[in-house]
Structure 1
Amino acid sequence: MSYQALYRVWRPQRFQDIAGQLAITQTLRNALIQHKTSHAYLFTGPRGTGKTSAAKIFAKAINCHHIVDGEPCNTCETCMAITKGQLNDVIEIDAASNNGVEEIRDIRDKAKYAPTSADYKVYIIDEVHMLSTGAFNALLKTLEEPPKNVIFILATTEPHKIPLTIISRTQRFDFKRISVKDICGRMAYILEQEKIGFEESALPVIARSAEGGMRDALSILDQVISYGETEVTLENAMSVTGSLTQELLLTYFEAILTNDTEKGLAILQGILAEGKDSARFVEDLILFSRDLLVYQQAPQMIDLLEEASADTTFKELSGKIPASILYQMITILNDSQTEMRFTNHPDIYLEVATVKMTQLRVNVAPKMESIQPAPQEIPETKEASGNVGHLEAEINELKKQLLELKENGIVASGAAKKPQQRVTKKTGNNQFKPNTTGIYQVLKEATKDNLLQLKELWPDLLNMLSVTQRAVMKASTPVAASPTGLIVSFEYDILCQKATDDQELMEAVSEDMRRLIGHTPRMICVPSDQWPTIRSEYLSQNKSKPTEQPKEAHGGSPKPTSEAMNQQLVQEPPALTPTFDGLDDLVAPPIADDQNTVVTEALELFGEEMVEVLND
């Protein structure tokens, strides 16, 4: 028999074989034991996390007459037929190639007939998000009023593309990415059963490269086994995955710590010359920096280390490198990682990042109290007395300068400003930087109708997102909108950053808005504390621009441009500038006393040339 890949040979046959999904498998087992199964299930999650395997195991368990503790026996005729894919009552369909209305109608018609050899007829529809709108509509009626003894299991990696009417009629289970520990445990079990030798340190390298997918991990393990022929070693795993050894990482960090730019660039060039993946290199550096921080703060929690092993050299480096340097390194690497996604020359960003990190300095602010000499006995040597005299002279000079500054009243004002400057600088380093150019473009075309429409539909849009995406967008509010763009304000910078970097979330929002309003405006994220400033800058810039206004036919007075009109349609907190519901408020007759304030504010905001006051 020809060789089969490990992920095919070792596909889970019981719920307990599925790694990292204990909550889901336990729920399904209890439902089978208590005979409380549903007619339709929706399995969502990243690739290789066990969705289709769980569906097949469920199909076996619900049809097995020898079920034990919610697990199929895998020895009876029904279980073996399902395992081999030979049972006619368990139908597996790939929606990517069978996504038309006719295929779903055929399923609907055949579902009416009773199962031939099993107790339940089970339809497993993989990649169900690929179905067309008509196919979803054809499936909807069957899910709403399912025939007796028929179960539908829908599996997908993109649940946001499934209509809410389908989701609401299923029990949804979200499969999460499998942890490195669980992947390593499963691989160790498989290697022991296959009687293949392995090094414990090689398994985490493979697991991290799999990025949470068991199928990917077993595929990489297959490659490492083929590369090494006899056993799985750390060196072979490093070569196949493109990861870096700890010795090389320690050498690179030593160059950063000693501010040796030339050495750091030489190490980088050597790594790239060996064909190492640049994205994997940055990922390894971030994880190694994280491990150094973890060991510094909690040296007893060695189990939390992901990239590093706590050997003597690692411990020495963690004691020498300051935490502030590690914070700055992680920030630089994270920025480089983001930029590398949109370039064809990632090596340039790695070189720039290396130069930045090797030029980092530890900033220690000297305190005035440290200038005062501590009372202690100093040996009466000639060299010591000379140093003391030099220090005393410097201290006297500093005292003299302080007295002069104090007499001129500069010390108090300088001292009052220092804390504020320090705080401002610290905030600026960690502050999210929004896409100001894109925001200005949206504001230029923004209309009040678009904003009100999105505000009304915003709760519906959030409900269409997945649970994790909804958690990111929960603290968000649309503050401006145009036919082609949408500005969303976030209460927290970290959520704003996460939403901006999550390409899948951006695509989901665009697709859901297309369903709700018929077009797909591009979403731009901005922190709520920066939004008033950005809006005010936009208004001031457009207010200062001289533009020629068209004349009216009857009187020759200029009309406000559409751009000026749109300035008032952008949402703004009341503390900054008065807002107006529309141009009617600006041109209302100012005869009554209570309208004088409105006219005055309009004149201040838009200028006398932009506002026309008409009397009844």
Structure 2
Amino acid sequence: MSLAYQALYRVWRPQQFIDVVGQEHVTTTLQNALLQQKISHAYLFSGPRGTGKTSAAKILAKAVNCEKAPTAEPCNECDACRGITDGSIPDVIEIDAASNNGVEEIRDIRDKVKYAPNVVKYKVYIIDEVHMLSIGAFNALLKTLEEPPKHVIFILATTEPHKIPLTIISRCQRFDFKRITAQAIVGRMKQIVEETGVDCDDKALQIISRAAEGGMRDALSLLDQAISFSQDTVTIEDALTVTGTVSQNFLNQLAGAIHERNAAAGLEALEELLLQGKDPARFIEDLIFFYRDMLLYKAAPALEESMERVMLDEDFQELANQVEPAQIYELIEVLNKAQQEMRWTNHPRIFLEVAIVKLCQLENQNPSSNVQVEPLLRRIEQLEEKLVQFQQNPGMAASESAAAAKKAPRPNRKGFQAPTGKINEVLKSATKTNLHTIKGRWGDLLEMLAANQMRSQAALLNESEPVAASDEAVVIKFKYEIHCQMAMENTRFIETVSGAMNDYTGKRMQVIGVPEDQWLKIRENFISQRGDGATEGQANATEDPLIAEAKKLFGDELIQIQD
């Protein structure tokens, strides 16, 4: 059995600048420099893997040494070009910095640089993965790189330019190689399959090019694998199997189940996928890209080239028209979170299943909320109108509400009963300091509620005031029982007031509401039960309703209280 077979990416390595796909900004500049004979002494080629850095370096080495120079392209026919291609000319030296990263290897280069080339015009050093050199090796290279002899050219190639010292970068002409577009990769692969006589489905090539993520070498390796895997023709299924990518039909099916809020169908589809041996991490990435492409398609349907994973078939377009952008943002957020969690677990499948169920439930909440939100908003508006009426004419509003209560009594609705036991406990440990602190900030509380679009809560507090406060709780007296009841049944109101008390006093206080008529009885009973001597402190910690009313009318400054 012959082992002479060479991988596609080696056979089809570019031999001229025109073959370096997707890097026209680099190749055009280099060709102009060659024609004008303005060759630099050092170049830095940086960019992702498989984008043509080393190939461009070899082509440049041939072009400067070609017997037909100055030329924009090496002829690949003269002895110099052929010798550099097959590696037989010792003046073009390729060094792998990953395995030759020490100071000694670079000193060896530095010592030999001064010798003139043996065969061709220029000595070319191509140092691959140059970021792997040690600091000592970089320092040894510095001076040589800055002022090499006229017959020497350095070409440094790297995937990680940020790891190279700036002193090295500043001594080179830098060229950044870009990721190759899916379209350009497909074009190159079509040329290769046509010339090698392989039968290949166009959509299979698209799947391979998208899986390659901008690297031509990755694409050709996958194509090689797909050709070996296939029978006579490289089909879409072959390409999906080799790349580990999930088929478009499957993604459409799963996205449809999520849109229809059918968790069972979603989990069944996922089970089928995992049984086929697909990797959960790869799958969730495909699903994120699927929704990303859907978002781009909705924003700009014409930009087909910007799609990462999706082919614009009928099912995809139909589904994209049904899903709202806001839903897509939410879906991507959930998937992204699941993807992060999957990186740190030994059971990624569980997170994937949870994410699918969560996506179905996320969608489930939207339609119901759309149905209910309008009546709720109308109800809130009605309540706010009533509260404004209460505020403007509390007596009439209270009598109206009492009359309405008589006309249409609610079977479960009893009059509000203040928690007498709790209020008595507060009175036992109430202090004047706490009460004065809260009273002093009462206006701030009302302003804060109004500023936070909580007008209905602010309206409830307009006819109310704090009357006693211990370290644990504050008692708020309401002029009307209905106001007190509405306030105490409103969880948001209680939380807001309690939070404000915490801000003003530094203590987390329970909020207890009491209607005015009940408060007078509770206070009177408390004082009489405790006896005059024992209750002086507690009585002073609350405020007599008559004094409070006088203060409202004339202000604190004019009132003088005498026993």
Measure the CA separation in 1 of the matches of 2:334 and 2:134: 44
Secondary structure of the residue aligned to 2:175 is strand
SS state of the match for residue 201, structure 1? helix
Q: In the alignment, is residue 362 of structure 1 matched against residue 366 of structure 2?
A: yes
Alpha-carbon shift at residue 152 of structure 1 (Å): 0.8
Deviation at 1:302, TM superposition (A): 4.1
**What letter matches 1:232 in structure 2?**
V
Instruction: Identify the residue that residue 313 of structure 2 maps to in structure 1.
Output: 311
1:63 to 65, 76, 98: 65
Q: How many residues align?
A: 400
- Name the residue aligned to 1:224: 226
SS of 2:126's partner is strand
Partner of 2:121: 119
Quote how far apart the aligned CAs of 1:366 are.
6.6
Structure 1 residue corresponding to 2:257, chosen from 255, 262, 270 = 255
Cα distance change, pair 366–225 in 1 and its aligned pair in 2 (3 A): closer
Tell me what 1:405 maps to.
Answer: 387
Deviation at 1:324, TM superposition (A): 1.7
| Equivalent residue number for residue 6 of structure 1 | 8
Query: Would you say the 8 A contact 1:67–1:73 is kept in 2?
Result: no
2:67 is paired with a residue whose SS is coil
Contact 2:63–2:71, Cα closer than 8 Å, also in 1:
no
Who is 2:33 aligned against? 31
User: Is the 1:183–1:207 contact (alpha carbons within 8 Å) kept by the matching residues of 2?
Assistant: yes
| 1:329 Cα offset (Å) | 0.8
Q: Deviations over 1:379-419 (max 9, x none)?
A: xxxxxxxxxxxxxxx99x99864542332459x99997459
Matched ranges for 1:459-538 at <5 A: none
The match for 1:279 is 281
CA deviation after TM superposition for structure 1 residue 69, in Å: 5.4
Unaligned 5+ segments in structure 1 are 372-393, 421-539, 545-616
Q: Residues 23, 48 of structure 1: CA spacing in aligned structure 2 closer, same or farther, 3 A cutoff? A: same
Matched residues in 2 for 1:158 and 1:326: separation? 34
* Counterpart residue number, 1:462: none
Answer whether contact 2:34 2:70 (CA < 8 A) is retained. Answer: no
> Would the alpha carbon gap of residues 303 and 152 (structure 1) be closer, same or farther in structure 2, given more than 3 Å must change?
closer
Q: What is the SS of the residue equivalent to 1:359?
A: helix
Matching residue within 81, 85, 88 for 2:87: 85
Seen in structure 2, the aligned counterparts of structure 1 residues 323 and 399 have a Cα distance that, compared at 3 Å, is closer
**Paired position in structure 2 for 1:46:** 48
Distance in 1 (CA, whole Å) between partners of 2:133 and 2:156 is 11
1:141-540 superposed matches below 5 A = 141-360=143-362, 361-362=365-366, 401=383, 403-408=385-390, 417=452
In the alignment, residue 10 of structure 1 is paired with which amino acid? W
Partner Cα distance (2:8, 2:156) in 1: 25
Aligned CA RMSD, in angstroms, stands at 3.1
Deviations 1:303-334 (A, max 9, x none): 44342333332222122222221111111112
Q: Is the Cα contact below 8 Å between 1:324 and 1:362 reproduced in 2? A: no
Name the CA distance, whole Å, in 1 between partners of 2:390 and 2:177. 69
**Quick one: distance in 2 between partners of 1:419 and 1:71?**
75
Unaligned runs of 5+ in 2: 393-446, 456-502, 508-563
- Residue-by-residue CA offset, 1:445-482 (whole Å, 9 max, x unaligned): xxxxxxxxxxxxxxxxxxxxxxxxxxxxxxxxxxxxxx
Write out per-residue CA displacement over residues 53-75 of structure 1, whole angstroms, 9 at most, x where no aligned residue: 11100000001122585111111
Please give the TM-score of this superposition, normalised by the length of structure 1: 0.60
Deviation at 1:339, TM superposition (A): 2.5
State whether residues 19 and 178 of structure 1, in contact with CA within 8 Å, keep that contact through their aligned partners in structure 2. yes
In 2, the alpha carbon distance for the partners of 1:413 and 1:369 equals 26
1:311 maps to a residue whose letter is D
Task: Pick closer, same or farther for the CA change 1:286–1:60 going to 2, 3 Å.
Answer: same
Deviations 1:19-42 (A, max 9, x none): 221111111111111111110111
In the TM superposition, what whole-angstrom CA distance separates every residue of 1:94-115 from its partner, at most 9, and x where no partner exists?
1222222222222112211111
Amino acid at match of 2:13: R
Deviations 1:560-616 (A, max 9, x none): xxxxxxxxxxxxxxxxxxxxxxxxxxxxxxxxxxxxxxxxxxxxxxxxxxxxxxxxx
Q: 1:296 to 1:415 in 2, by over 3 A?
A: farther
Q: Give the counterpart letter for 2:337 in structure 1.
A: D
Percent sequence identity over aligned pairs: 56
> Would you say the 8 A contact 2:114–2:149 is kept in 1?
yes
Paired position in structure 2 for 1:502: none
Letter matched to residue 366 of structure 2: V
Please state whether the residue corresponding to 1:41 is helix, strand or coil: strand
Residue 73 of structure 1 corresponds to which residue in structure 2? 75
Residue in 2 that maps onto 1:137: 139
Give per-residue Cα distances to partners, 1:119-143, cap 9 Å, x unaligned. Answer: 1010111122222222222221211
Deviations along 1:506-564, one digit per CA (max 9) or x if unpaired, are: xxxxxxxxxxxxxxxxxxxxxxxxxxxxxxxxxx9xx99xxxxxxxxxxxxxxxxxxxx
Once residues 236 and 107 of structure 1 are traced to their aligned partners in structure 2, the CA distance between those partners, rounded to angstroms, is 47
Q: Which amino acid aligns with 1:19?
A: V
Q: Is the 8 A contact 1:89 1:115 kept in 2?
A: yes
* Corresponding residue of 1:17: 19
Q: Which amino acid aligns with 1:201?
A: K
Q: 1:213 Cα deviation (Å)?
A: 1.3
Mark the CA change 1:319 to 1:146 in structure 2 (over 3 Å): closer, same or farther. same
**Shift in alpha-carbon separation, 1:324–1:71, aligned structure 2, 3 A:** same
Distance in 1 (CA, whole Å) between partners of 2:380 and 2:49 is 67
Q: Which amino acid aligns with 1:405?
A: L
| Change over 3 Å in CA distance of 1:398–1:176 after alignment to 2 | closer
| Residue of structure 2 in register with 1:424 after alignment | none
Residue 162 of structure 1 and its aligned partner are, at CA, apart by 2.0
1:202 and 1:31 mapped to 2: Cα distance?
39
- C-alpha separation between the residues in 1 aligned to 2:175 and 2:367? 50
SS in 2 for 1:103: helix
Larger radius of gyration: 2
Partners of 1:357 and 1:323 lie apart in 2 by: 15
Q: Give me the whole-angstrom Cα distance separating, in 1, the residues matched to 2:308 and 2:217.
A: 21
Measured in 1, the distance between the counterparts of 2:234 and 2:72 equals 35
Q: Give the secondary-structure state (helix, strand or coil) at the position aligned to 2:311.
A: coil
Mean CA deviation greater in 236-245 or 280-289: 280-289
Matched residue SS, 1:3? coil
CA distance in 1, matches of 2:280, 2:373: 48
Q: Cα–Cα, structure 1 residues 315 and 162, in superposed 2: closer, same or farther, change >3 Å?
A: closer
